[in-house]
Amino acid sequence: LTQQRYPVTRLPFSVVSAEDLAAFERILPGGVVTDPEVLEASNVDWLRTVRGCSKVLLRPRTSQEVARILRYCHERNLAVNPQGGNTGMVGGSVPVFDEIILSTTLMNQVISFNSVSGTLVCQAGCVLEELSRYVEERGFVMPLDLGAKGSCHIGGNVATNAGGLRFLRYGSLHGTVLGLEVVLADGTVLDCLTSLRKDNTGYDLKQLFIGSEGTLGVITAVSIQCPPKPRAVNVAFLGCPGFAEVLQTFSSGKELLGEILSAYEFMDAECMWLVTHHLRLASPVQESPFYVLVETSGSRAGHDSEKLSDFLERALSSGLVTDGTVATDQTRLKALWALRERISEALSRDGYVYKYDLSLPTERLYDLVSDLRARLGSQAKHVVGYGHLGDGNLHLNVTSEVFSPSLLADLEPYVYEWTARQRGSVSAEHGLGFKKRGVLSYSKPPEALRLMQQLKALLDPKGILNPYKTLPAQA
Ligand code: FAD
Ligand code: MLT
Ligand code: ZN
């Protein structure tokens, strides 16, 4: 097994044998997949830029089965790639070589829901959108939402510490996840699946696994705090004449909408071009250099619409906003959100996508996009900026007809150096996975990196869990 496509060498893990397959079949009767056609989809990532060559996919249903698989793989020195919905953006969810794919697809049961506290306990393979439906029927919402909701698993969300569209209101999974059950590399089941809001008994171990991208353990169950479902939701989709106005509209929104402001997303004119051309979505407002999506969520429709009208009147009369539309019914709300949520889908139809996910000081966030547009000139098909402006998170994406090494050389390390100069983060919410593991040092000091490597060695001494991911290759 040689790997030509990536500058990485296969580590000396064992190769899956016929005896191994028989052992897996004993642990998971009917849950061992070796059909190359089925494996094809699990070997390639959502962006179709990273591909592995795994020959086996395992589909456990219980934590005990995961434990038995990992105990066996640890003993046999077999590498394992945990996989949820395979919507990750950094190549962490697919094997690099022949790692065994351990999928949570069949671990899709809700374990309990407390309708007083709003605590949901479920298996890791529950699809986010299905969980949303489940809790919404009971008067609650999931504290996170993202464009990949129809496919991503809650375990994958926790493993990537996904941010998404509700971060501004409900914060990070580091706050909303109350407990986790995790199977460690040697098969030990770590039951930290509590539902307590407060628990200061020793180190908060679950936090280690939130955002660990399958490198420290396999998350098998999640306990998560769901907030009450807001009774009134409004979405305003607005056109702004410049980025300065996008920022001022945000400040004004925070001041005038206060506690009901629940999302503040932005996209530039090139993003609008992409979604209207590739996905045939219709723009609801006049053409503008920038667009913002402002969502309010509250408990009294009258109170919220009064606040929103005041905010919009002032934004329009002062010229911060040049055109806008407001939706309150489900169908129109969804249509407005689609313009923003489906940008990544439109980009992947445009060509090869160079994807950057950066945390930057909000006031400088768009400078990098303008700067790159000038730097790259006609080499790039599109240079676009969009993202979770309310969280200081820019999605900077560049497309070209086909992959171009010279374009990449103009982008990297330039983008990372630019970000490091602002003391920003080279991965705000997507993680490092396979594609970005080499750039961690732009955002973390050597002491932090060393401690991360020590933690990895402690929890996974043989390095069988998601090798070649997250941490840079060690010398
Ligand atoms: P996968 O892609 O299968 O895996 C992701 C990583 O987690 C891999 O390293 C994998 O090994 C690991 N992993 C998966 N399951 C487990 C488990 N049970 N235990 C341990 N490790 C595991 N991200 C954001 O943060 N915000 C967004 O707004 C956002 N929007 C998106 C929109 C679209 C259209 C798409 C395609 C992706 C988007 N993402 C976003 C990327 C995001 O990381 C994923 O969508 C999601 O969190 C990953 O979940 P998944 O189940 O697909 O995990
Ligand atoms: C988003 O916010 O749309 C996602 O993080 C996906 C992406 O950046 O393409
Ligand atoms: Zn995002």
**How does pLDDT run across 445-459, given as a tens digit for each residue?**
999 999 999 999 999
Give, for ligand 1, the residue of 146, 208, 391 to mutate: max count of ligand atoms closer than 8 Å to Cβ.
146
The amino acid occupying position 242 is: G
Residue 2 lies in a domain: no
**First-to-last CA distance in the chain?**
22
Query: Do 328 and 381 have their domain in common?
Result: no
Query: Do 213 and 116 have their domain in common?
Result: yes
Report the pLDDT value the prediction gives residue 2, as an integer from 0 to 100: 40
User: What ipTM score was computed for the predicted complex, to two decimals?
Assistant: 0.99
Residue 57 lies in a domain: no
Domain of 209, in residue numbers: 110-225
Closest residue (by CA) to atom 5 of ligand 2? 164
H-helix or E-strand containing 178? strand 177-183
Alpha carbon distance 105, 202 (integer Å): 33
Residue 166 lies in a domain: yes
* Partners of 465 in beta bridges: 80
| Pocket flag, ligand 1, residue 125 (CB < 6 Å) | no
**Ligand 3 centroid – CA 451 distance (Å):** 28
Q: Are 249 and 197 in contact (CB under 8 A)?
A: no
Closest residue (by CA) to atom 6 of ligand 2? 344
Count of domains observed in the chain: 3
Helix orientation angle between 269-278 and 343-350, rounded to the nearest 10 degrees: 70
Residue 206 lies in a domain: yes
Query: Do 295 and 367 have their domain in common?
Result: no
Closest residue (by CA) to atom 7 of ligand 2? 344
Mean per-residue pLDDT, 26-38: 97
Residue 158 lies in a domain: yes
Whether the CA torsion 64, 68, 71, 73 is positive or negative: it is: negative
Query: Do 260 and 324 have their domain in common?
Result: yes
Report the pLDDT value the prediction gives residue 475, as an integer from 0 to 100: 61
- Joined together, the tokens standing for residue 255 give 């001041």
Q: Are 55 and 98 in contact (CB under 8 A)?
A: yes
**Ligand 1 centroid – CA 6 distance (Å):** 22
- The per-residue pLDDT of the chain, averaged, comes to 97
Atom of ligand 1 nearest to the CA of 125: 18
Mind listing the pLDDT tens digit for each residue in 372-429? 999 999 999 999 999 999 999 999 999 999 999 999 999 999 999 999 999 999 999 9
Q: Are 103 and 42 in contact (CB under 8 A)?
A: yes
Query: Do 375 and 417 have their domain in common?
Result: yes
**Ligand 2 centroid – CA 308 distance (Å):** 26
Query: Do 322 and 427 have their domain in common?
Result: no
Pocket of ligand 2 (CB under 6 A): 147, 343-344, 357, 395
**Ligand 1 centroid – CA 156 distance (Å):** 5
Query: Do 251 and 312 have their domain in common?
Result: yes
Atom of ligand 1 nearest to the CA of 88: 2
Alpha carbon distance 121, 285 (integer Å): 41
Query: Do 236 and 336 have their domain in common?
Result: yes
Residue 51 lies in a domain: no
Query: Do 242 and 174 have their domain in common?
Result: no
Percent of the chain with pLDDT over 90: 98
| Pocket flag, ligand 1, residue 437 (CB < 6 Å) | no
Report the pLDDT value the prediction gives residue 5, as an integer from 0 to 100: 60
Alpha carbon distance 158, 173 (integer Å): 7
Closest to 95 in 3D by CA, of 51, 39, 155: 51
H-helix or E-strand containing 191? strand 189-192
Buried b (16+ CB within 10 A) or exposed e, 162-182: bbbbbbbbbebbeebbbbbbb
pLDDT at 106 over 80: yes
Atom of ligand 2 nearest to the CA of 387: 2
* Partners of 358 in beta bridges: 394
The ligand placed nearest to the CA atom of residue 293 is 2
pLDDT at 7 over 90: no
Residue 36 lies in a domain: no
* Partners of 313 in beta bridges: none
Q: Is 9 exposed, middle or buried (0-12, 13-18, 19+ CB in 10 A)?
A: exposed
Among 321, 341, 361, identify where a domain stops: 341
Closest residue (by CA) to atom 28 of ligand 1? 164
Band of residue 4 on the pLDDT scale cut at 50, 70, 90: very low
**Ligand 1 centroid – CA 158 distance (Å):** 8
Residue 64 lies in a domain: no
Atom of ligand 2 nearest to the CA of 165: 2
Helix/strand/coil for 279: coil
